Amino acid sequence: APSSDIGDRSVFHYGTLRSGQALKSLGNLIVVGDVNPGAELTAVGNIIVMGILRGIVHAGCNGDKTAVVCASKMMPTQIRIADIITRPPDEELSSSWVPEMAYIKDSNIYIDNYLAKNIK
């Protein structure tokens, strides 16, 4: 189902997610807080983290390749969108807080500064 049909099933979570905690949503998943390593987020739609994303995320878990993952600071251990999986580079790219968005293009996951990205 397209992401626009799932807004009423979205989950809003306020607070930090610790290792071992998992959140799932049949819609979009919005976390206001940090996601620590070992925490997992899964959503049929988009995943938005207003904080540091250090855990595992799976957006578009029912196969929606238009789903995106956005975070105030993107440092996940794994990103999965639909059936495509990527791991971040080993080196720390930047210590600054740059809001970023991960999305699928040409069967690959790309991560860009989302303020510069043309949103579909």
Output the pLDDT for position 1. Answer: 42
pLDDT in tens, 71-113: 999 999 999 999 999 987 665 555 677 899 999 999 999 998 8
pLDDT in tens, 1-47: 444 556 578 999 999 999 999 999 999 999 999 999 999 999 999 99
Contact criterion met (CB below 8 Å) for 68 and 49? no
Q: What is the pTM of this model?
A: 0.87
Encoded amino acid at 83, one letter: D
